[in-house]
Structure 1
Amino acid sequence: MIPFDTALLFVSVGLALALVPGPDNIFVLTQSALHGKIAGVAVTLGLASGLLFHTTAVALGVAVIFQTSQYAFVVLKYAGAAYLLYLAWNAFKASKSQLDDDRPPAETVPKLYLRGLIMNIANPKITIFFLAFLPQFVDPLHGSLVAQFYQLGALMFIITVIVFGVVAFAAGALGDWLKASPKAQIWINRVSGLVFIALAAKLVSTNK
């Protein structure tokens, strides 16, 4: 079991990291502005769930593969970039009619969750970051290391949901303005597409 003071320090650092503006924040913001608060929460849960994958990779030693194997690292990052470009293409093709409802269709919510999940999992840099970050907060004297890793992963999940959830609700408030302005709808779709392209370019350009 992780001591309270260690958990408190981890939460403080985790909050600071989550609050730093970055690709994930922007992704949640654009999807919330486009599809509403529920969509933003779905994307947030997807991104946060991806952190549990990276936690598992670290706990089971899989992260070492991405750190030591250039091939595995390159395959995963290019697969992630290809998926992001696919999302960009869909964003550029999106029409005004897709934003007419107050909330996304029920079948769209799982897709948005999956979108956030795949985006997070397909970034090997996060696994490597977790490999360097999480071990600093575990200690064999406090029990199973695997259990401690999952405790930290759960804390990071909660932190991400809270911070990104606030972003989702704030951006979702733009919905009425977007529905009242067809030009704004098209503009935000284009911005969303550019965000996906930028994320793909950043992922491709990263090195271990």
Structure 2
Amino acid sequence: MVFTALTMVLTPGPNMIYLTSRSISQGRRAGLISLAGTGLGFIIYMLMTNLGLAVVFVAVPWLFIGLKVAGVAYLAHLAWQALRPSGRGVFDVRDLSRDSTGRLFRMGLTTNLLNPKAAIMYLTVIPQFIDPQRGHPLLQGLVLGLLQIAVSLVVNALIVMAAGAIASFLARRPSWATWQRRTTGVLLGTVALLLAGEVPDRARI
């Protein structure tokens, strides 16, 4: 479970891109405040899933399908932004407006709630690790969810703290920055293709 959570968080996505951009443009404090909002988003997903509210996606399948299609489209857009000749990488410096503490928190929360990776983690990945023979499924789901949140927050906090240094390092080495951008684009495109392959299967259920 820890390896799966680590793989998911290390794959560039909306959360990483937003947190990195905010940290570079407004400082580590802004990045950590945004990360707090992201953490709340994970808690909301965890509670929804384990308390059974996610059954709505089963009762109304097109909602889940729509979420996945939107997620695929967004990831494909991010991949194109990174791969196109004039594209930018995760650690490229961006000119963003300076936001208040409240707005930083809300943006972190919103970014995560709209993040297809978070939805997929709680709706399809974590349930695979629950074994009814090992105890109450609800308790297992909460423990696994908290484990995933801990891994995500620690890794993203390290990224936030190092974002400025990494951006400066890449700025002095254009060729490294280009390969970083291309790698990010390929990873995002791969995730988008994998998710796109699952949409028809879900639609036939």
User: Please, what TM-score do these two structures have when normalized by structure 2?
Assistant: 0.60
SS at match of 2:52: coil
Aligned to 2:5: 18
Using the TM superposition, give the Cα deviation of residue 134 of structure 1 relative to its aligned residue in structure 2, in angstroms. Answer: 6.2
State, as a whole percentage, how many aligned pairs show the same letter. 24
Taking the aligned partners of 2:142 and 2:8, their CA distance within structure 1 comes to 25
Taking the aligned partners of 1:149 and 1:121, their CA distance within structure 2 comes to 17
Unaligned runs of 5+ in 2: none
Structure 1 range deviating more: 73-82 or 159-168: 159-168
**Equivalent residues of 1:178, 1:185 under 8 A apart:** yes
> Deviation string for 1:141-163 (max 9, x for gaps)?
xxxx6x99667645542332124
SS at match of 1:79: helix
User: Please, what TM-score do these two structures have when normalized by structure 1?
Assistant: 0.59
Distance 1:61 1:17, change over 3 A: same
Using the TM superposition, give the Cα deviation of residue 135 of structure 1 relative to its aligned residue in structure 2, in angstroms. Answer: 8.2
Aligned length: 186
Structure 1 range deviating more: 163-172 or 30-39: 30-39
Aligned to 2:115: 119
Distance 1:199 1:160, change over 3 A: same
Aligned to 1:83: 74
Is 1:184 aligned with 2:176? yes
> Deviation string for 1:139-194 (max 9, x for gaps)?
49xxxx6x996676455423321244345556764333201023333332333222
Taking the aligned partners of 1:83 and 1:116, their CA distance within structure 2 comes to 13
Taking the aligned partners of 2:171 and 2:152, their CA distance within structure 1 comes to 28
**Equivalent residues of 1:48, 1:157 under 8 A apart:** yes
**One-letter amino acid of the structure 2 residue matched with residue 128 of structure 1:** T
Aligned to 1:157: 149
**Equivalent residues of 1:66, 1:128 under 8 A apart:** no
**Equivalent residues of 2:9, 2:152 under 8 A apart:** no
Is 1:66 aligned with 2:57? yes
Using the TM superposition, give the Cα deviation of residue 58 of structure 1 relative to its aligned residue in structure 2, in angstroms. Answer: 1.7
Is 1:128 aligned with 2:128? no
Unaligned runs of 5+ in 1: 1-12
**Equivalent residues of 1:80, 1:122 under 8 A apart:** no
**One-letter amino acid of the structure 1 residue matched with residue 69 of structure 2:** Y
Taking the aligned partners of 1:61 and 1:105, their CA distance within structure 2 comes to 39
SS at match of 1:174: helix
